[in-house]
Amino acid sequence: MNKEHGEKLNEVREYMLDLEHLNQAIGLVYWDMRVGIPKKAIDSRSEVIGYLSGESYKIATSDKVKEFIDYFEGVNGLDDISSSMIENLKKEYEKTKKIPSDRHKEYTILASKSEVAWEEAKDKSDFEIFKPYLQKVVDFKDEFISYWGYDKNKYDTLLDFYEPSITVEKLDDIFGELRDGIVQLLEKINNSKVKPKDDFFKKEFSKESQEEFSKFVVEKLGYDFDAGRIDESVHPFTINFGNKDVRITTKYLTNEFRSALFSTIHEGGHAIYEQDIPDELNGTGLGTGVSMGIHESQSRFYENIIGRSKSFWKYFYPEAKKRFPQFEGVSLEEFYKGLNTVEPSLIRTEADELTYSLHVIIRYEIEKALINGKIKVEDLPRVWNEKYKEYLGVEASCDAEGVLQDMHWSDGSFGYFPSYALGNIYGAQFLNKMKKDMPNMYEEIEKGNFEYIHKWLSENIHKHGAVYKPADLIKMVTGEELTAKYFIEYLNKKYTEIYDL
Amino acid sequence: MNKEHGEKLNEVREYMLDLEHLNQAIGLVYWDMRVGIPKKAIDSRSEVIGYLSGESYKIATSDKVKEFIDYFEGVNGLDDISSSMIENLKKEYEKTKKIPSDRHKEYTILASKSEVAWEEAKDKSDFEIFKPYLQKVVDFKDEFISYWGYDKNKYDTLLDFYEPSITVEKLDDIFGELRDGIVQLLEKINNSKVKPKDDFFKKEFSKESQEEFSKFVVEKLGYDFDAGRIDESVHPFTINFGNKDVRITTKYLTNEFRSALFSTIHEGGHAIYEQDIPDELNGTGLGTGVSMGIHESQSRFYENIIGRSKSFWKYFYPEAKKRFPQFEGVSLEEFYKGLNTVEPSLIRTEADELTYSLHVIIRYEIEKALINGKIKVEDLPRVWNEKYKEYLGVEASCDAEGVLQDMHWSDGSFGYFPSYALGNIYGAQFLNKMKKDMPNMYEEIEKGNFEYIHKWLSENIHKHGAVYKPADLIKMVTGEELTAKYFIEYLNKKYTEIYDL
C-alpha cells in the first residue's frame, strides 16, 4: 500500500473517531434515560438526544465522507480491516443519502407517534388503534425500498440492515427446515409421559440474593466488571460505549428464580462479545458485533446452550443450593429438567428454548408477506392467530397476547426478528465446531473453567468485530455455509434425553 | 421592540439551545465518570469529553455568535432577560476569543497534568512535586490576564469569572471586617467554660439509615426527587442538566452522623436553586445560578442557617431519635450544641460554621498576593502556615494538611475561593430581610413548614436565574449593598447563646 493511501486511511480513522465519541455520548444519554433519569427530565432529555443524533447524522453524511469514498473508489490492496472500513462507510453513506431528508424527518416523527399508538393499543388490546399508524409505517418502508432498490425480493433490502448477506431465498430454506424439525419434535414431546416439574422456581427469592448470584455467575462466565456494570430497567438490554464500558440491565422478579438470572446471562453473552472487541478497531466503525444474528448467537449460546446445560449446573448447583434454601430436596436432575420444560405458549419473550424459534419464524413469514404485498395490514391479527394455531397449537384470547405483543413493528424494524432465530442456528453451528476443537469442553464447564470456551469465542468470533460479513465469518469459523441441521440435531438430542422420547 | 429584533432574538435562543443540549450531554458524561463508570473506561471517556468540549467551544465562539453580538450592538429597549442574554453572550465570547487558541490548548493540557501532580504531591505531602506545575499555571494566568486586561487589580479579572461585580477593593473591606469579627468571637469562645459534647455523633450509623434520613430531610426542605436523584461519589457535588434534572452526590461515613447529612443538605441547597429556575430561561444561557457566591449562599443557608438552627431540630429531632437509638439520652439542647461546637482546625472542608470563613479569607489573601507578584510560588507553604497560626492558632504538621489540601489551584481556579465566604455573607443578609418579611419564619420551621422559606428564596432569588448581576440582585432583594455586618451579627448572637459569652 502506498504512503498516500496510508495517510488518507489515518484521516478517515480520525474522522470516524469523532463520530464514535459522539455516538458514545448519545449511548450514555440513552442508557441514563432507561436506568436513572428523574421523570420530569424525560421530555427535555429527548431533545438532547434529538440534537446529538442530528449532529451524528451530519458527520456520517458529510461531504468529507463522500470525499473519502471517492478517494478509495477502485483502490486495491488494502488490508482486511481498511477495506471493510471503507466498504462499510460507503454502504452506510449511500443508504442514508438515498432517502430524501424531508422524508427521513417525517418518518422519524411518524415512528415516534406510532410507538405511542402501539403502547396504547397494547394496553387496550385493540389492534384498530395501531392499524392506521402501522399502515403508514409500511407505506414508508415501501417508499424507502424504492429508493434503496432490491434484487429478487423487497424484504431482502430490509434484512440487509440486520443480517448482511442473508436473503429470503436462504431464509426460506433454513427456517423451513427448522420449523419442520421443531414442529415434529414438539409433537413427540406433547405425547411424552414425562412432565418435568418447575414449581420450585416459583417461590420467593429476594432481589438481593438474585442480584448477587447473577453477578457471581456472569463474572465466572467472563463478564468483566471493570469494563461494565449491571443496573435495573423495565426491559433488560445491553449497551456499550466502546469496548471498555459495556453495560447490562436486568429486571428482578421476586417470585421467579429463572427470569433475572437467564436474562442476565443472555445480556452477559452480548456484553462479553463487545468487551472482547480489540482496541485496534477503534475509529474504524467496525469495533462492534458484526450483525444482530451473530450477536444473538453469543447471547443465546451463553443463555441456553451453556446456561441450560447439565454440565453448567453440575458446577453451579451446589453454589445455588448454598445460597437458596428454596431448592432443599430438589435434585440436580430435577433442577436441570425444570429449567428445560417445554410448553407452547403465546408470548415470544417467555418461550422455552425449543418453541422460541417458532415464534420468530411466524413473524418472519408474516413480515415477508406484508412487505411484498401478499397480505395487508388489516389481515395481520387473523394471519397471526392462524399461524400460532398451526405451529404452536395455541390461541391468543386478545390482540395484546397476539399481534400486539412486540414493539418492533411500531418503529418499522422489519427484518429484525429473523436475527433471534438465526442466533440459535449460528450458535449450534459454532457449538459443533467447538466440540471438535475442544472435545473436553463440557468437562471443563463442569469444573467451572469457563475461560476455556470464552477464549474460543474470543479468538474465533469476537476479535474480528465487524470486519467480516456474517456469511464469511461462519464459513471461516466452521468451514461450512449456514445450516439449521446442527441446531435441529442439538434440540433432538437434548429433548430426547429430557423427555425420554 | 421591533419585529426584526424579536426574530433575531429567537434565532439567538435557538442557537443557544443547541449549545445547552450539548452541554447537558457533557454534564451527564462528567456525572457518570464520577458516579458509575467502570474503571477501564476512564481514559477513553476523557476523550469523549475532550471531543464534546471542543465542539461546545466551537459553537460558543463561532462567527454566528459574532454576528449576533454585532447585530445587537447599540440596540436599546430590550427586556431584562434579552439584554442580559446578549451581554452575557458577548462577555463569554470575548473572554474566550482573547486567548490565542494554541495557548488555550497548551493551558488545558498543563492543567490536567498539574492536577495529577497535585494529587501525587498531596499523597506524599511534598509541595516540591507540585511547585513547578503551579508555577507554570500562575505564569499562564498572568499571561491570560494580559490578554483580558484589568483596571485596578489583576486579581479582579479572575474574581469576575466567579463573582461578577466583586473587586479586591470591596473584598478587602468586607473580608477585613469579617476576619476581625470572627477572630474576636473566636477568642471569647476559646476563653468560655462551655465545652459542648459531640461524642454521640461518632457512633456507628449504618449507611442505609443515613441515606434514608438524608433523603427524608432534603425532600422536606423542597428538593424534588422527580427532578433529581442522589448518588454516592468520592467528593460530594451537585450537577444539573437543565432545571428538570438536578443531581446530588454524597458520601456516607458510618462512624459519623453529621458528615453525609449536612453535605446532602448543602448540596440540596444548590439543587433547590437550580430546580427553581423557570423554563422561560431555557435557551438564554441564563438558566442557572447567577454566581458561585450566590450559589454558595443557598447551599450554606440550608446547611447552616437553617440546618444547624434549633428550630430545625425542634422539628427533626423527634424523627431522628425514632430512627437512631444512638441518641438515647441526648437532649435536644445537647444535640443542638453538639452540632455547633467550634474548634479551630487545619482542614477547610471539615471546619465549623464560625471558623470556615477564616480558612477562605486566608486563601483569598494568598491568591491576591500571588497573582499580583507580592509573594512567589515558593513562599506559599510558609505564608500559609503563618496565616493559619495567626488567624486560627493552629499549625499544620505537613503540607498535605496545609497548602496542598485543596485542588483548586492545580487547575488554576484562582478567584474561586472567595465565593465560599461570600456565600455566608449573602446568606445572612438574605436572612435579615427574610426575618423582616416573615417574622414568624422560625416558628414555621419548627412546625416543619419549609415551603414557607423555600417560596421566599424561589420568588426573590431562584426565579431570576442569572438575569441580574449578584451586586444588583442583593440590592434588589435586600435594598442594601453587600455587607458583612449581618453575618457577623448572626454569628455573635448564635455563639453568645451557645457558649454563654
Q: Test B41 with A229 for CB contact under 8 angstroms.
A: no
Q: Are B293 and B419 in contact (CB under 8 A)?
A: yes
In one letter, which amino acid is A370? L
- Chains A and B form CB pairs within 8 A to the count of 89
pLDDT tens track for A376-424: 999 999 999 999 999 999 999 999 999 999 999 998 999 999 999 999 9
Q: How many CA atoms lie within 13 A of B83 on its CB side?
A: 10
Choose among B21, B22, B29: nearest Cβ to A28.
Answer: B29
Q: Test B38 with A242 for CB contact under 8 angstroms.
A: no
Q: Is B104 annotated as a binding residue?
A: no
Choose among A29, A228, A244: nearest Cβ to B28.
Answer: A29
Q: Which of B267, B274, B303, B367 is catalytic?
A: B267
Q: Are A441 and A434 in contact (CB under 8 A)?
A: yes
| Among chain A residues, CA nearest to B21 | A48
B52 vs A: CB within 8 A? yes
CA distance B313 to B303: 12
CA distance B130 to B118: 5
pLDDT on residue A1: 65
Q: Test B245 with A41 for CB contact under 8 angstroms.
A: yes
Q: Where are the beta strands (DSSP E) in A219-264?
A: 230-232, 238-240, 246-250
CA distance B64 to chain A (A): 17
Q: Residue A37: its chain B contacts at CB < 8 A?
A: 245
CA distance B112 to chain A (A): 20
Q: Which of residues 173-192 of A touch B (CB under 8 A)?
A: none
Cell numbers at residue A132, please?
392506521
Q: Is B270 annotated as a binding residue?
A: yes
A99 vs B: CB within 8 A? no
Q: Test A245 with B28 for CB contact under 8 angstroms.
A: no
Q: Residue B48: its chain A contacts at CB < 8 A?
A: 21, 24-25, 241
DSSP letter string, B272-317: HHHHTS-GGGTTTT--S-S-HHHHHHHHHIIIIIITTSHHHHHHHH
pLDDT on residue B234: 86
Pairing of strands B246-250, B238-240: antiparallel
DSSP run (H or E) holding A291: none
Residues in Cβ contact with A349 at an 8 Å cutoff, skipping those fewer than 6 apart = none
The interface pTM score, or ipTM, of the predicted complex is 0.92
Q: Test B41 with A225 for CB contact under 8 angstroms.
A: no
A36 vs B: CB within 8 A? yes
Average pLDDT over residues A334-343: 97
B219 vs A: CB within 8 A? no
A226 vs B: CB within 8 A? yes
Question: Residue B446 gets which letter from DSSP?
Answer: H
Q: Domain extents for chain B? A: 3-97, 175-192+345-418, 199-336+419-499
Q: Test B226 with A22 for CB contact under 8 angstroms.
A: no
Q: Is A295 annotated as a binding residue?
A: no
pLDDT on residue B481: 96
Q: Test A21 with B229 for CB contact under 8 angstroms.
A: no
Helices (H) and strands (E) in chain B, counts: 20, 3
Cell numbers at residue A324, please?
437458596
Backbone angles phi, psi at A254, to 5 degrees: -80, -10
> Catalytic annotation on A106?
no
Give me the residue label for grid cell 474460543: A456
CA distance A203 to A201: 6
B25 vs A: CB within 8 A? yes
CA distances from A351 to A343, A359, A500, B444 (A): 8, 8, 21, 59
Q: At what angle do helices B356-371 and B418-437 cross, to 10 degrees?
A: 130
pLDDT on residue A94: 94
Average pLDDT over residues A298-318: 98
| Among chain B residues, CA nearest to A243 | B41
Choose among A32, A45, A226: nearest Cβ to B39.
Answer: A226
Q: What's the CATH architecture for A3-97?
A: Up-down Bundle (1.20)
Residues in Cβ contact with A220 at an 8 Å cutoff, skipping those fewer than 6 apart = A316, A448, A450
Give me the residue label for grid cell 415551603: B451
Nearest by Cα to B389 from B402, B408, B371: B402
* Mean of pLDDT over chain A: 96
Q: Which of residues 256-275 of B touch A (CB under 8 A)?
A: none
For the segment(s) B199-336+419-499, the CATH number from 1.10.1370.30, 2.70.98.20, 1.10.3720.10, 3.40.50.300 is 1.10.1370.30
Each residue's pLDDT, cut to its tens digit, for chain B (501 residues) gives 688 999 999 999 999 999 999 999 999 999 999 898 999 999 899 899 989 999 999 999 999 999 999 999 999 999 999 999 999 999 999 999 999 988 988 998 898 889 889 999 999 999 999 999 999 999 999 999 999 999 999 999 999 999 998 999 999 999 999 999 999 999 999 999 999 999 999 999 999 999 999 999 999 999 999 999 999 998 899 999 999 999 999 999 999 999 999 999 999 999 999 999 999 999 999 999 999 999 999 999 999 999 999 999 999 999 999 999 999 999 999 999 999 999 999 999 889 999 999 999 999 999 999 999 999 999 999 999 999 999 999 999 999 999 999 999 999 999 999 999 999 999 999 999 999 999 999 999 999 999 999 999 999 999 999 999 999 999 999 999 999 999 999 999 999 999 999
Q: Are A404 and A121 in contact (CB under 8 A)?
A: yes
Q: Test A36 with B244 for CB contact under 8 angstroms.
A: no
Q: Which of A20, A163, A267, A365 is catalytic?
A: A267
Choose among A26, A36, A44: nearest Cβ to B242.
Answer: A44
Q: Test A32 with B28 for CB contact under 8 angstroms.
A: yes
CA distance A310 to A314: 6
A45 vs B: CB within 8 A? yes
Average pLDDT over residues A268-272: 98
B338 vs A: CB within 8 A? no
Q: Test B21 with A48 for CB contact under 8 angstroms.
A: yes
Strands of A246-250's sheet in order across: A230-232, A246-250, A238-240
A208 vs B: CB within 8 A? no
